[in-house]
Each structure stands twice: as C-alpha cells, then as structure tokens.
Amino acid sequence: MSHKTDLAAQAVACRFNLFAEHFISMASRKKKAVKRKSFPIFKLFFLMLLAGAAALAVYCIHLDKVVRSQFEGKRFALPARVYARPLELFEGKHLALADLRRELDMLGFAKVNQVRAAGEYFVAPDHVILQTRPFEFWDGAQGSHKIRVTFDGGIVESIRDESNGRFFDLFRLEPIAIGGIYTSNREDRQLVRYNQVPRHFIDMLIAIEDKRFYYHHGVDPKALMRAAVSTLTGRGVQGGSTITQQLVKNFFLTPERTFKRKANEMLMAILLELRYDKHDILETYLNEVYFGQDGTRAIHGIGLASQFYFGRTVDQMKPHHSALLVAMLKGPTYYNPRRNPKRALERRNLVLAETGTQGYITPQEFEQALAQPLDVTRSGSMGLSNYPAFLDLVFRQLRRDYQEDDLRNEGLRIFSTLDPLVQSAAERTLAQQLTQLEQRNKLAEGWLEGAAVISVPQTGEVLAVIGGRASGFEGFNRALDAKRPIGSLFKPAIFLTALERPEYSLATLLDDSPLQWQEPGMKTVWEPQNYDKLFHGQVPLWQSLANSYNVSTARLGLELGVKPVLQTAQRLGIEDPLPPYAATFLGAAELPPIQVAQMYQTIAAGGFRVPLRAIREVLTTEGRPLKRYSIEVQQVASPQSVHLLTRALQLAVEEGTAKSMKSILPESLHLAGKTGTTDGLRDSWFAGFSGDYVAVVWVGNDKNQPTGLTGATGALPIWARTMAQLNPAPVRQAEPDGITYVASHRVAGGRVRGSCHNAVVLPFVEGTVPQMEVGCDGSTSYSVGDKAKKWWQRILR
C-alpha cells in the first residue's frame, strides 16, 4: 500500500473517529440533559411524599394526644344523681300496706307470685315479701335481703329476714332515684367496671357487633371488605365498623357521614388500640353506648340501661336481659321494648340465636333465655321530670356550696329529704281539688293554679314541693317563685310580738272598732275592714286571731309598732324585705309559699327556727362523704309565748275561720292553722301543722284575677284532704315552765268562776293571769285583788 493510500486511510479513520467522538459526545450531552431535566420531578415527588408522611405523623400525634387526654383524663361528664329519702321500716310505724306497694312500684320492683330475685315482691292480705337490691348508703353498703313485712291494719307489725328468721329493729329500703342535675346535652349514665358486667353480655356483644374484636388492631380489613362487597352487590348496607371504631365515633367524633370523619375514625381506632388494652376499650364502650331516651334525658351505658329497663343492677342481669340490650344497639328507638315490644322480642331472639350458633351459650341456656319475656319494667325508675319543683329546691341549696360545673360533671350522689308518698298524696289532692273547685264555682278548666310545701316540724326537712297543678312538668315553680300577698297568714307575727310582752295575754281585750290611720308622709288614710264588714267591739286577743278580725289586729300592730312586728316576722324566717307600713299587718307583703312555710315551721317547732332543707347527704361518685347537712337550730322566740300562740291557732281550727276542717279531720288531732284571703278574693291560703307535718297551700290565678275563694273555701280543703291521706299525729305541745291554764270568758276575757258554757281554757304565762273574775253571763263581779283586800280588812277588825 502506497504512502498516499496510507495517508488517505488515516484521514478517513481520523474523520470516523472524530465523527464517533462527536456522536458519543452528543449522546452523552443528551443523556446528561435528560438526567438534568428528570431529576427535579423525582425530587419533588419524593419531597411531597416526605411532607405527606410528616404531616400524617404530626396529625397522628395530634390525634394521639386527643385520644390520650380524653381516655386518661375525665372520660365522662357524670351528672349529679338525686335520691329521695329511704323508706325506713320499723315495728309500730304508721304505714299502709298499699303505701309500701306504691313505694316498691316507684322503685321499679316487679310484682310476682314467688320472690326469687332481687327487685321482686309478693303481696298477701297482711304481709309483703320482697327481696331488696344492694345499695350503698351514706353510712355504708347494704346487701340484698329477702324480708317479710307484716302489717296489723295500718301499722308495721314486724320485719323478718326470710333467710334466717331474724327480726329487724329497723330496715331501710333503697331510696328512689328522683332525677339528676344534667349537662347541657342531657346525657346520663351510671359507671360500671368491666368486672361488674356479666360474661354473657360481653359474649353477646362480641358475637353481634364485632366477632374479631380480640384479633384486630382497631380496624378489621375483613369486615370492611365484607361490608364493601355487600354494599356493591346490592345485598344491603352492612356495617364494617369494629367496637373500637364505634367507640371512637361516639366518644370523639360527630355523627356526620364523610370520608374525612371515617378516615379520622379509623386512624383514632388504631391509635386507641396501640395505647390501651382491650378491656379498657370495652369498659369505656360499655359506659358510653347509647340506649335510648327518657324524655329529654339520654340513657347511656349498660349500668343505667339495666336500671332503666329492668330495675336491676348490671350484675343482676340474666342472659335474656343481656340479649335485649345488645339487640337495642342496632336502633334504640326502633327496638324500644316499651314502645315496640314485638319488634324488640324478635331482635332479641335473633341475638340469642346468633350467640348460640357461635357457641357462646349452650343449647339449654338458649332455650331457657328464649322462653323468657322481655321482662322490662313499666317505666324507667329514674325519670327526669317526676319531681321538678323539688329538684329545683335541691339545686338552689346545692349552689350555695358547690360550683355548677361540679354538679353537672362530677357524679355526685345527693340524698334528699323528699318523701315520695307525701309528695304523690299532695299532688293528687291538689289536682283533684282544683278541678272540683272550678266546677263548683263555674270557672274555666285550668283557671286555678296551686302550690304547696310540706315539711317536718322538728327537723326542717322538706318532704314535698308542688310547684303547680301539672306537677310532673318543668316550668314556673310557684312554691319557690310565686310572690303573692299572703293575707292573714302574716298575723301570727303580730300576735307573737304582743304575747312576748307581759302586758298581753290571750285574754287581753282588743278594740275592734272603726280605725283610720295615715302613714307619715302619705296623703291617703288607711281604713281596714273586717271580712264580714262588721265591727265587734272589745274582743279577747285569741278571738281576734282565731276569727281573723282585721281591725283589732291592725290596731294591735300599731300599738306594738311596725318595726318590732317586722323584726318578729324576720326572726320567724321571712327573708324578703317587708314593706315598713301598717298595711303589712294584714298581709300586703308578697311572699312565696316556701317562706311562709319557714315562718310556720318556727311556730310549729316551739320558737326554734330550723332552716328548711332539702338535702341530707352529699357523696362523691366513689361514695366518699363530702358534706353533711346537719340540723341548725336557733331559738328565736320564747317557748312560753309560742305555746300561747299555738293554742290560739288551734282555736282557729276548733271554732274560728278554719272550723270547716272538722268535717274532714278529727278534732282529736288538735291541729293548728290559719286561713289567708287577699283583697278581691285573688289569693286563697292555708298554713298549719300537725304533730309531724307543717304544710302551706296556696290557690290562685296566674293572671292575679279574682277566684271567688277564701282561705277556708279554697286552700283549706286541699290542706285537710292531703293531711287525711298522711295519717298525721296530733299536736301535743310540751308545756313550758311558767305556764298556767285558766278558764277564761269567751267574750269578757276575765277569769270565770266555776263551770260555764261561755268559758274556754287558755294557757297564761305566770304573772299575766287575769285578775278580774267574770260571771258566766259576762258580768264583772269583783277582782281577786279586791276580794283579798276586803278579806284582810275583815281580819284586821
């Protein structure tokens, strides 16, 4: 090969190499360019993925904090629960067998032919056999007892333990739960621990609501897939939520149906299972789950549901009870056993069948449970609005010592003084009598309203509060808030002021002639009139009170002075400011019945003021005592003067304005009381007391229009007929030191010689016995002092 040829070949090779290098260089640059262009997209995707994971982590941390704060802190808002007084049974107690039955019915006990379980009772003509439920009182726990209460007429003869034959000196029934002080959403529950719940309830719950509860970690993929397939194939919507998810939805989230809410539910369920064990989750679920409504109150948790539907504590539930509650979880309203018993029974039996299929109960247990009825009580034993007026008083007294948030959230147990038997008797009588009064006086139905307060003289415990004729409904509480003129109910304050002074006695003559009085700085002249439009001249002090003479009472008040009389009224318990005018003597002051009750409470207690109270004990939810509401007693009037005043009030019943009571109650009770009537017959009052009850009744119209009723024709029959149902004890006054009983003339007021049809035996404080002797015809013969003087002069001669 020539040299040129070699050069040419080298030139071609060189060019080829240059071309190849150029091609490789171009390819390399293109590859680098591609790399430079694709790298930012990958990096952005990677960063977005990291950011999303970080955001999810932060969000999960937030959700975890929410879960932990709610789960480890105060899980539930627990309303304060209020109980009535426990019924105490003892030998010799005045109690009708029918009243014991009524108490047991209010407690939700079931009437049976043979008592086998707690919460059941059997009735015979002269005895009742019952088995009590365990209950923790303020002074300790009381277990379940099967007892026989034997009656002799209307008296308890004996209380015997059926298991060992032992007789009880005193036995307490559990108190009736009368309501609560609820949160704004009206949720109510009774907390239970996991180990208190029967195993058959847990098994049925798992079998129906979440078969793989013990195997998943909050979310069950199989259940979700099964629910999705069922929905997509048109076989119906099937739930895929686990028990943990249900708890999260009810406990933390709103009920809205959105993807976001569902995603939160699943995340929080997983977090909940990572943090807490299955027993904690299940216990919380058992206390949170919703079981229906009681009026405006929401029933939550198995503890309250067991009481509400069966009248049983949760540990007393049988398999058929558990099956019904589990059945209701699908739709508490739709499967309500009281409203839809057939539907509820079918669903309950389905639960039993499914539980049996999964092997949680034996075939024998299945057959036994299947044969049982629904076994629900007629109504919930812990109703919200049975005693709203009384609960109002309880709440007002509690607010003096506790913050409202604590009352609504801390689960306090409040033992009140309410006597359901007294309350129901007063409610029935008030409603019946108002209807009869409307018919008799040709008034429109519903025209009249009423209120009443009943308490115990010695302790000040309020037994009943009736805020209106529709007593079971919340509304205006007339017993506490209706301020109306009290009429002659104020008069005892005037007469007590007089009887505390040595110049006055029950026989002191008062002037009942026309009176004109002009208050300083006032242009009008006050001219009080008697109800009968007559004037009665000189009348003994007791007659003025018993017959409610306005003129003589007003003149006595003016002699005593307005200020001292008002001070006496305040000592007796009137809290509201009283108008410092003479018209107050005749009841121009407007007061609610509760304050009038306090005034007469002090009189009935012999001059010892015992503040009215509606609470006995307050316990924490664990049973620890918080505050004991002990009796506070203050002597505000001398026993001697109150003794005289009480005798005058007894004479008002025996022969004064309240004498019509004798047609309803026996005179042997020696009741004391006072009628009250206001101008235009707008308000009708009666206040009085027996040996064991103080009661005040008001009747009127909410628009303050005339009713045509006096105290004797309106309030008095209601008072008397209520007392007739309570079997009251007679008034037996303990005679204080320094009291002497003397026969006094009914008209002339002096001492009467020998027997006389015009005489009345009156108590006198020593030193105030009338010196003037009066003949039976009222003629004055001579005084004891004159007779002694003449006798001494004869001796000296």
> What distances in angstroms separate CA 296 from CA 186, 188, 307, 383, 396, one per listed residue?
7, 10, 17, 10, 21
Alpha carbon distance 457, 730 (integer Å): 13
Give, rounded to a whole angstrom, the gap between the first and last alpha carbons of the chain. 202
Q: How far apart are CA 420 and CA 106, in angstroms?
A: 9
Write the DSSP symbol of residue 142.
E
Helix, strand, or coil here: 103? helix
> Has 773 been annotated as catalytic?
no
Could you say which of 488, 544, 548, 552 is catalytic? Answer: 488
Residue type, 551: V
* Count of Cβ atoms closer than 10 Å to residue 744 Cβ: 26
Is there a catalytic annotation at residue 273?
Answer: no
CA 171 to chain centroid:
23
Half-sphere exposure in the Cβ direction for 342 (13 Å, CA)? 0
Per the CB < 8 A criterion, the answer to whether 489 and 584 are in contact is no
- DSSP letter (8 states) at residue 633: -
CA-to-CA separations, 306 to 122, 318, 326, 338, 355, in angstroms, rounded: 22, 11, 12, 14, 20
Q: How many CA atoms lie within 13 A of 468 on its CB side?
A: 18
Number of other CB atoms surrounding residue 284 within 10 Å: 22
Torsion of CA 17, 22, 24, 27, to 10 degrees: -160
Q: What are 42's two structure tokens?
A: 């990958």
Return the residue matching tokens 């704060």: 69
3-state secondary structure of 635: strand
DSSP 749: -
Q: Please state, as a whole number, how many other Cβ atoms lie within 10 Å of the Cβ of residue 725.
A: 16
Cα torsion 566, 567, 569, 575 to 10°: value is 100
Q: Which of 174, 187, 209, 427 is catalytic?
A: 209
Secondary structure (3-state) at 449: strand
Catalytic residues: 209, 488
